[in-house]
Each structure stands twice: as C-alpha cells, then as structure tokens.
Chains A and B, each alone.
Chain A
Amino acid sequence: RKEVEQDPGPFNVPEGATVAFNCTYSNSASQSFFWYRQDCRKEPKLLMSVYSSGNEDGRFTAQLNRASQYISLLIRDSKLSDSATYLCVVNIQFVEAAGNKLTFGGGTRVLVKP
C-alpha cells in the first residue's frame, strides 16, 4: 500500500461548480499536511497547509480527519484557472537521519470547463 494515495482523476468540473477530493495516508504518526498545485510541465507550488481544525483560503477549504487518516480539499466556485493537478503532501517521521521526510501523493487532476 502506498504511504499517500490520491484518486488520479480527472475530475471534470463545470465552471462555477464545487469539487472536492481526498487524500489518504497510511502512517498514523504523520504530523504535517499540505496541498500543492502543479500546472502542466511546471514545478509544484504550495497551495495551503492543512491544520487540525480545518482551514479556508478564499475559495479553497482543507480538512484533516485523523481518525480515518485522510485530508480533503474543496474548491468552491471553480474557475478555469483552477485546472491543475493537486498534490497531497504528508510529513512522515523518518527514523534515520535527523528531521522529517515529506511524501507526495500521485496527484488529482482537475479540469474546469466552461
């Protein structure tokens, strides 16, 4: 089982609609969670961190469910410019060497159409 899993999609979303998708992680010791956005053939960029109580950033809402070991991202009022791949990133405690290691999910592709 992969440490971090995402539905690859694509999620085809009409412009203005709401879309939500999840990311599951297998290690209960995971401590930090992030959503990154990656446009085609570009580098990933941080979209938002995910806090225990859930958090919003404009049209984007992130939630964490520790009991079921998943995080979610919801996009309201989808724009054409929201079309991208959304990467879930989980900080998993790494035994060897000091510090932590971030593990990426495979990404969920979102296509917003007029």
Chain B
Amino acid sequence: NAGVTQTPKFRVLKTGQSMTLLCAQDMNHEYMYWYRQDPGMGLRLIHYSVGEGTTAKGEVPDGYNVSRLKKQNFLLGLESAAPSQTSVYFCASSATGGGSPLHFGNGTRLTVT
C-alpha cells in the first residue's frame, strides 16, 4: 500500500517553461488536494477535487491548472513557470471532506530560475 505518491521529487525549471506534477493515491479517496508550502507562509491550498472529473480553486490558484480524469490521479500543471512558484508542493488525499484526516505525499521541491 503506497498511499500517496508524488512525482517528481525535485525539479528545476527556467522561467516560462511548463511542467506537470503527478499525484497518485491507492486508497480510493474521493478528495484530493494540492498545497504549496513556503517559509513563513505555511501550507496554502492551490486547487482541490471532491471527486473524479471535478476540480475547484483554493486559496492561491493563479498560474496553476489541475485535472482529475481518474479518481486515483490528480495532476497539477504550470503552463509558464515563474520564480514566484519556487516552492515545495504537497499533494494530499482524504476519504471525505473536512472531517477525515489528510494523507500527504512526500512533496516536490520546485525551483524556478
């Protein structure tokens, strides 16, 4: 049982490049989330999904897009990376909404130069 798996673990991009972060969970969870964590800012919600085929904006959605074509996968896309998107990105899943705990992936460290 792998839980929540994120790929890649590290990535360096140049300004303007694009990339997709992949999150996969094998717990049959309905809810999936993408957070970013910056020093002194805590975890901030980028986008989330309450089920296959659904997505919704979180606190800081600008510059990111997401897709949930399959229940087990939640993709985060950066179409044109900016230095302000340098951060650690965490994917998480939960069985239901706010009443159930989050299971996190190991994180992706992204640097945009």
Residues of chain A whose beta carbon lies under 8 Å from any beta carbon of chain B: 8, 31-32, 34, 36, 41-46, 49, 87, 89, 91-93, 96-107
Contact = CB atoms under 8 A, between A and B. Distances in A.
Contacts of B102: 36, 44, 46, 89, 102
Interface residues of B, number: 26
Contacts of B40: 8, 106
B85 to A, nearest CB: 19
B56 A97 contact: yes
A43 B98 contact: no
Interface in B20-47: 31, 33, 35, 40-45
In this complex, which of A102, A105, A106 has the most chain B Cβ atoms within 10 angstroms of its Cβ? A102
A32 B98 contact: yes
11 contacts: A8-B40, A36-B102, A41-B107, A42-B106, A42-B107, A43-B107, A89-B102, A91-B99, A99-B97, A99-B98, A104-B42
A101 B102 CA distance: 11
Nearest to A96: B56
A78 to B, nearest CB: 23
A97 B50 CA distance: 8
Chief secondary structure at chain A's binding surface: strand
B58 interface: yes
Contact of B42 (A97, A99, A105): A105
Given A43-B90, A87-B43, A106-B41, A100 B101 contact: no
A96 B96 CA distance: 16
Given A43-B90, A45-B104, A102 B98 contact: yes
Contact of B106 (A31, A43, A87, A103): A43
Given A45-B104, A101-B48, 9 more contacts: A44-B102, A87-B42, A87-B43, A91-B97, A91-B98, A97-B54, A102-B45, A103-B45, A104-B42
Nearest to A107: B42
Nearest to A102: B98
Contacts of A31: 98-99
A45 B109 CA distance: 18
A96 B59 CA distance: 12
